[in-house]
Amino acid sequence: MPELPEVETMVHRLQEWVGSRIDDIVIDPRMSLKAAKKYLPGDEYNDTIGQAITGVYRRGKFIVFTTSSGALLAHNAMSGYWDSADRPWTFDYVEGARVSSDNDVRVIFTLERGGELYKLRFHDARMFGSIRYVDPSQLAEKLSELGPDALHTKHLYEPRVADGSYFYDVCQKSKKPIKEILMDQGKLAGVGNIYAAEALFHTEISPFKPANELTRLDANGVFAAAQVVMANALVRKLDYAGLRVYRKKRCDKCDTEISSGDLKGRTTWWCSQCQK
DNA sequence: AGATCACTCCGGCAGC
DNA sequence: TGCTGCCGGAGTGATC
């Protein structure tokens, strides 16, 4: 499941399409009506054709393609990724390498650049992702629903990044488990299940600890750890060997068996010995 | 009325 | 080997 570093990496690759024009779009006809609604429903399909891509950015876990008259707002959810037909992509998710398949292509954009035509493809096996065309005011509205970003990266759209003090204030306002706060996109944009678990492991705080029980030092530490694990993922080019608790069997500090359980519908991993 | 919750999309895959 | 059940971002509508 792509989180902030994965999305940033995809956005970096997508830069090559800045300056191209969307000539045509084909949406996978095999999808149910409900699933197809997530990809340029209604007028959005026609609104998108003819638009020039003026920039590609990341905001939280969203990809923002700015265009001549508006923007495409895309979310990869669990299984989404982008590539072009002439250069299929193998993307390493934490679950293992995902080899680009022709079978999970949901949307094909025909792009024109310098008189040549290219096929930009959005793959999404599980159809949980989305692509929406929005006008500038809708874009601003949608993005305003996200909290400040968790990490300043090269391709961040309209950089507005949280800091430890902000995160402490957010924690103070809620009795919810700290992991829920970390993953709440409306409070802090970009952190998902993997890096939330890792950040809490590094700071030795239980994912279930009520957020308002964290001291300022705790909150600063958790926020800093989240930034470090995501920044490391970026520089290591998403080499998941650096993960220490997510889907692990044993704690690499104390050798206790790693616990796993449900926290608000998401499986979470933690060391019951180290994390209090 | 704001916060919270259950439910929804779906294929992949673990576990019988 | 073939089935069943579980998993999950974010949006939606229901409920407290």
CA distance A189 to A173: 17
Q: Enumerate residues near strand C (beta carbon within 7 A).
A: A 1, 60-62, 75, 77-78, 126, 128, 130, 142, 145, 185, 192-193, 262, 265-267
**A183: three-class secondary structure by DSSP:** helix
Looking across all nucleic acid strands, the nucleotide with the smallest C1' to CA distance from residue A104 is B11
Tokens of A31: 């999808």
Q: Is residue A104's beta carbon less than 7 angstroms from any atom in nucleic acid strand B?
A: yes
Per-residue pLDDT tens digits for A171-207 = 999 999 999 999 999 999 999 999 999 999 999 999 9
Kindly state the percentage of chain A with pLDDT values over 90.
Answer: 68
Per-residue pLDDT band for A216 (boundaries 50, 70, 90) equals very high
**Model pLDDT for residues A74-114, shown as the tens digit of each residue:** 999 888 889 998 888 766 666 556 667 888 899 999 999 99
Q: How far is the CA of A133 from the C1' of C11 (A)?
A: 16
Q: How many helices (H) and strands (E) does chain A have?
A: 8, 12
What average pLDDT score do residues A146-159 get?
Answer: 94
- Nearest residue to nucleotide B10 when comparing alpha carbons to its C1'? A126
CA–C1' A60–C15 (A) = 30
Does the CB of A35 sit below 7 A from strand B?
yes
Q: Is the Cα dihedral A108, A68, A190, A188 positive or negative?
A: negative
What is the tens place of the pLDDT at every residue in A83-93? 998 888 766 66
Q: How far is the CA of A56 from the C1' of C10 (A)?
A: 21
pLDDT at A130: 93
Burial of residue A238 (number of CB atoms within 10 Å: 0-12, 13-18, 19+): middle
Quick: pLDDT tens for A14-49: 999 999 999 999 999 888 888 888 999 888 999 999
Tokens 């982008």 appear where?
A82
Our measurement of CA A37 to C1' C4, in angstroms, reads 28
Strand C nucleotides within a 7 Å radius of protein CB atoms: 7-11
Q: What percent of chain A has pLDDT above 70?
A: 95
CA A12 to chain centre: 13
pLDDT given at position A93: 61
Burial code (b: 16+ CB inside 10 Å, e: under 16) for A124-152 equals: bbebebbbbbbeeeebeebbeebbbbbbe
